[in-house]
């Protein structure tokens, strides 16, 4: 019996992945910090008749990551699909943001992706099948003043995912990075400014875009036509032009 592990499954894109994968018959291991919200996710997908295991854990803490992996072993849960969705951002001037929060941001957005992928990939390779989905962002395609750490972290996730895709694609394991643009979740509230980047797509659209591209064997996908165009433009725009444009788009008041 194999399972799909979804991090950050307490809401937003993680919950949308849970709902869509449950509809496709996946048994799910759900993890996030908030146990009550994990239970809410489990209740939402209950109609699909799949099994769920809940493992509350703070993945920004190395101890939380160890707890998750220990629980997988203790419960004898074999993971055939990993959705690295957990993450958060911070909006503001880098020098003004809380240093501990920034450290947690790097731990969750970068180190968790690496550690969980490294822990679970060997068994997928041994089995000759499996999938790793890493949630990146359109922020991966350009530096973002006032979201410097988040954009850099997501650039790492995108680069890492593409390299991993090439390493394992001939061994039965699929890897993809999905790059959402602004999405209708609590991300911007948690980041500190819910008034930036409006015109957001839904978490369900992100999940469906990703899973369709995963089935096609793509190394990454940008969610939404407008976001795709903007990402392509960003990749080709010189930095000295891109930075003022990025700041204008963020509409952040310094």
Chain segment 198-254, per-residue pLDDT in tens: 567 999 999 999 999 999 999 999 999 988 998 888 888 887 777 777 776 666 433
Give which of 41, 25, 22, 43 is closest to 33, Cα–Cα: 41
The larger pLDDT score, comparing residue 139 to residue 233, is at 139
Asked if the model's pLDDT at residue 4 lies above 70, the reply is yes
CATH of the domain at 10: 3.40.50.720
> What is the model's pLDDT at position 198?
59
What does the pLDDT look like over 209-219, one tens digit per residue? 999 999 999 99
Q: Burial of 202 by CB count in 10 Å (0-12 exposed, 13-18 middle, 19+ buried)? A: middle
Asked if the model's pLDDT at residue 101 lies above 70, the reply is yes
Please state the pTM of the whole predicted model: 0.90
The rounded mean pLDDT for the chain is 92
> What is the model's pLDDT at position 1?
77
Q: How confident is the model at residue 189 (pLDDT cuts 50, 70, 90)?
A: low
What does the pLDDT look like over 37-88, one tens digit per residue? 999 999 999 999 999 999 999 999 999 999 999 999 999 999 999 999 999 9
| Active centre residues (catalytic) | 150
Query: Token match 């032009």: residue?
Result: 241
What does the pLDDT look like over 6-45, one tens digit per residue? 999 999 999 999 999 999 999 999 999 999 999 999 999 9
> What is the model's pLDDT at position 236?
83
Number of domains in the chain: 1
What does the pLDDT look like over 48-60, one tens digit per residue? 999 999 999 999 9
The strands making up 130-135's β-sheet, listed across from edge to edge, are 52-54, 28-31, 2-7, 78-84, 130-135, 173-179, 220-222
Domain that holds residue 168: 2-250
> What is the model's pLDDT at position 253?
37
Average pLDDT over residues 136-161: 96
């Amino acid at each position: 019996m194999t399972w799909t592990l979804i991090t950050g499954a307490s809401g937003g894109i993680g919950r949308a992945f849970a709902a869509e994968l449950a509809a496709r018959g996946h048994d799910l291991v759900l993890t996030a910090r908030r146990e009550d919200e994990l239970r809410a996710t489990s209740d939402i997908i209950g109609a699909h008749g799949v099994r769920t295991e809940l493992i509350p854990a703070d993945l920004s803490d190395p101890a939380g990551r160890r707890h998750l992996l220990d629980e997988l072993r203790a419960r004898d849960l074999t993971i055939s699909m990993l959705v690295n969705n957990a993450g958060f951002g911070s909006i503001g001037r880098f020098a003004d943001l809380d240093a501990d929060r920034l450290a947690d941001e790097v731990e969750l957005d970068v180190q968790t992706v690496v550690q969980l992928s490294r822990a679970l990939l060997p068994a997928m390779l041994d089995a000759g099948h499996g999938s790793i989905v890493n949630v990146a962002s359109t922020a991966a395609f350009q530096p973002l003043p006032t979201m410097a750490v988040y954009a850099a972290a997501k650039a790492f996730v995108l680069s890492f995912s593409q390299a991993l895709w090439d390493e394992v694609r001939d061994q039965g394991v699929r890897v993809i990075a999905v790059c959402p643009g602004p999405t209708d979740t609590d991300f911007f509230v948690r980041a500190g400014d819910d008034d930036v980047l409006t015109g957001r797509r839904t978490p369900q659209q992100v999940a469906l875009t990703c899973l369709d591209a995963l089935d096609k064997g793509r190394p990454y996908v940008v969610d939404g036509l407008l976001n795709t165009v903007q990402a392509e433009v960003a990749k080709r725009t010189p930095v000295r032009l891109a930075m003022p444009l990025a700041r204008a788009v963020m509409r952040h008041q310094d």
